[in-house]
């Protein structure tokens, strides 16, 4: 029951729903950046929705299956191939024993989630199989996949049906530019008023450094923070604060020049003012934005954010009840 | 003679040289062998070497140094040796 990694892709890692409850100790949640696609791939196969899968960023891996497995690939558009033969996305298909599974260039989106019937078998660490590469924790030896790795698979439950497909209305759409909804705060008052306004009215380009830790943005006008005497414990730069906790999704702007959206492998705290937080319902979207694509930040209220969250939960509910 | 288009396997920034002071990996018209480095693509804090998959003459570069590529963009054309 194993899968051999021939080529690992760029930054493929084992992820599940993440490791909750340790962020206050400096250990971030990790887990699939696009939870909706991760859950969809698992549910298609009849797996528990949080089973460990392979998250493939920007380029798919090439894998050799020693045994026959049913699999499902959801998320970014990278056409799967079994020994060269095209296979559908968002649909259960079988990879026969001895066959190689590979993927075409990514056409849209950034991360594909490859689920295997039963789920990837790596040890749970602090209640999760997710990889936190920066902290060498979880996944396969705490790192991204490498050539020659062997992945174990948990026993198949026999519930997966070849050809079972995601209903069309639950297939996510990917674009070249995105709007991300943001609740201003906790340190938005530290911005000069015109900077606080302008931040929401300019295009920002995702930098090539964007990864699981954070999405760095370039191309907008430098933001000015209000000058002040640094309080005890804060750095000299006006963008510095006395160290504080960083929420996942929070946007910090070191020196005011390049905003960074923290994602699931983020550090848990530090001394940069956060000018807002991307709402939880849009964090999956962040994980599907390719470097060099454009983003516009849209200010919303807490009520709008809660409404968006309820709608996001409804989509997950639809996935759980799909035929 | 068959020609082969070398495509970007993933999105990123393309570089023809290891650093701004270094010579380019391959000049147009130069002979390459499988495994020879043609350039670098930078993404997610990684620099990944783009290698030739066949022997031949590197006829021309379509992608400029430091240009932003999407996955599948043509980087160069290789005239494959028979």
Q: What is the mean pLDDT of residues A54-80?
A: 98
Residue B7 touches chain A, beta carbons under 8 Å: yes
Contact A265/A233 with Cβ under 8 angstroms? no
pLDDT the model gives residue A185: 87
The residue with tokens 């147009």 is B28
Residue A177 touches chain B, beta carbons under 8 Å: no
Q: Rounded distance, CA A102 to CA A110, Å?
A: 16
Contact list, A106 vs chain B (CB under 8 Å)? 10-11, 71
Among A105, A107, A208, the residue with its CB nearest the CB of B43 is: A208
pLDDT the model gives residue B1: 73
Q: Rounded distance, CA A149 to CA A25, Å?
A: 30
Please tell me the pTM assigned to this model.
0.96
Residue B42 touches chain A, beta carbons under 8 Å: yes
Closest CA to A250 of A233, A273, A234: A273
Contact list, A291 vs chain B (CB under 8 Å)? 11-12, 43-44
Domain ranges in chain A are 2-170, 177-319
Provide the mean pLDDT of chain A: 97
User: Which has more confidence, A183 or B82?
Assistant: A183
Contact list, A10 vs chain B (CB under 8 Å)? 10, 43-44, 46, 48
To the nearest 10 degrees (0 to 180), the angle between helices A35-45 and A302-320 is 20
- In CATH, the number for domain A177-319 is 2.40.100.10
Q: What is the mean pLDDT of residues A56-85?
A: 98
Phi-psi region of A42 (alpha: psi -120 to 50; beta: other; left: phi over 0): alpha
User: Percent of chain A at pLDDT above 90?
Assistant: 98
Q: What is the mean pLDDT of residues A290-303?
A: 97
Condensed to tens digits (0 to 9), the pLDDT of residues B27-80 reads 999 999 999 999 999 999 899 999 999 999 999 999 999 999 999 999 999 999
Residue A215 has pLDDT above 80, yes or no: yes
* B82 pLDDT tier (thresholds 50, 70, 90): confident
Cβ contact (<8 Å) for A59 and B9?
yes
Condensed to tens digits (0 to 9), the pLDDT of residues A21-51 reads 999 999 999 999 999 999 999 999 999 999 9
Q: Which helix (H) or strand (E) holds A318?
A: helix A302-320
Contact list, B8 vs chain A (CB under 8 Å)? 105
CATH topology (fold) of B2-80 = OB fold (Dihydrolipoamide Acetyltransferase, E2P) (2.40.50)
pLDDT the model gives residue B52: 94
Q: Which of B15, B70, B74 is the best residue to mutate to test the A interface, defined by the most A CB atoms within 10 Å of its own CB?
A: B70
Q: Rounded distance, CA A65 to CA A95, Å?
A: 7
pLDDT the model gives residue B80: 94
Residue A210 touches chain B, beta carbons under 8 Å: yes
Condensed to tens digits (0 to 9), the pLDDT of residues A136-186 reads 999 999 999 999 999 999 999 888 999 999 999 999 999 999 999 999 988
Query: ipTM of the predicted structure?
Result: 0.90
Among B42, B48, B72, the residue with its CB nearest the CB of A105 is: B72
pLDDT the model gives residue A1: 67
Residue A238 has pLDDT above 70, yes or no: yes
Residue A219 touches chain B, beta carbons under 8 Å: no
User: Which has more confidence, B82 or A243?
Assistant: A243
DSSP A173-225: P--SEEEEEEEE-SSGGGB-HHHHHHGGGS-EEE-TT--SSEEEEESSPPPPB
Contact list, B12 vs chain A (CB under 8 Å)? 58, 208, 291
Q: Tell me how far CA of residue A123 lies from CA of A35, A98, A151, A251, B46, in angstroms.
A: 20, 25, 11, 33, 28
* A267 pLDDT tier (thresholds 50, 70, 90): very high
């Amino acid at each position: 029951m194993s899968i051999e990694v021939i080529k690992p892709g760029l930054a493929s890692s084992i992820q599940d729903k993440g490791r909750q409850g340790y962020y206050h100790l400096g250990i971030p949640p990790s887990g699939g950046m696009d939870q909706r696609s991760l859950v969809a791939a698992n549910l298609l196969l009849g797996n528990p929705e949080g089973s460990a899968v392979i998250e493939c960023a920007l380029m798919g891996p090439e894998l050799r299956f020693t045994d026959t497995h049913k699999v499902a690939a959801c998320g970014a558009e990278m056409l799967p191939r079994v020994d060269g033969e095209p296979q559908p996305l968002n649909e259960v298909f079988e990879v026969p024993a001895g066959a190689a599974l590979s993927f075409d260039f990514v056409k849209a989106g950034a991360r594909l989630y490859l689920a295997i019937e039963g789920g990837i078998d790596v040890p749970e660490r602090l209640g999760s199989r997710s990889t936190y590469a920066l902290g060498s924790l979880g996944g396969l030896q705490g790192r991204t996949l490498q050539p020659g790795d062997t992945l174990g698979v948990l026993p198949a439950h026999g519930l997966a049906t070849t050809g079972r497909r995601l209903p069309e209305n639950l297939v996510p759409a990917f674009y070249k530019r995105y709007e991300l909804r943001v609740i201003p705060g906790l340190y938005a008052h530290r911005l000069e008023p015109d900077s606080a306004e302008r931040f929401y009215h300019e295009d920002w380009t995702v930098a090539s450094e964007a990864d699981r830790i954070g999405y760095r943005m370039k191309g907008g006008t430098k933001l000015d923070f209000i000058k002040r005497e640094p309080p005890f414990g804060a750095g000299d730069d006006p963008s510095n604060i006395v160290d504080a906790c960083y929420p996942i999704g929070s946007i910090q702007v070191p020196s005011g020049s390049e905003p960074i959206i923290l994602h699931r492998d983020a550090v848990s705290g530090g001394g940069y003012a956060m000018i807002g937080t991307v709402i939880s319902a849009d964090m999956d979207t962040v994980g599907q934005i390719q470097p060099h694509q454009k983003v516009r930040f849209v200010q919303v209220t807490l009520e709008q954010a809660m409404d968006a969250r309820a709608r996001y939960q409804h989509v997950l509910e639809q996935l759980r009840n799909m035929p | 003679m068959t020609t082969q288009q070398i495509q970007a396997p993933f999105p990123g920034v393309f570089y023809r040289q290891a650093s701004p002071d270094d010579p380019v990996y391959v000049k147009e018209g130069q002979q390459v062998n499988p495994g020879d480095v043609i350039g670098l693509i930078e993404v997610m804090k990684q620099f990944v070497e783009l290698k030739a998959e066949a022997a031949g003459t590197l006829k021309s570069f379509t992608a400029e140094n430091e240009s932003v590529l999407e996955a599948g963009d043509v980087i160069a054309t290789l005239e494959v040796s028979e």
